[in-house]
Copies of this chain bind each other. A is one copy, B any other.
């Protein structure tokens, strides 16, 4: 099993969620994060003081999937999260040793 972690623009979340649903992926976890990268932040002025805001709001999506869906999931996220501008984000893939569904105690792919 794989854990696909995507850091994307917040406004793309619904898009991605729906497209993943269509793929038969019915679970995911989202976190508000702040990203730093090529996309530049901005400067805010409050009276005489300048504050550089380097971190921009992003959303991290985590999706556990069975190995065989990996390519499709990456493809889907790539397409539905893309706006074509700097800051669209990244997809990270890591190996999952084990998945457990707490409610039922199921393990492995059927727990996803």
Residue positions of A touching B, CB distance < 8 A: 2-3, 6-8, 17, 26-38, 54-55, 58, 60, 64, 74, 77-78, 81-103, 105, 111-112
Say yes or no: A92 contacts B84, CB within 8 Å.
Answer: no
A88 to B104, CA, bound (A): 9
Q: Which of A29, A64, A74, A87 has the most CB of B within 10 A?
A: A29
Number of copies: 3
Q: Which of A2, A38, A86, A98 has the most CB of B within 10 A?
A: A98
A54-B91 CB under 8 A given contacts A30-B34, A38-B27, A78-B102: no
Q: Which of A36, A38, A85, A86 has the most CB of B within 10 A?
A: A36
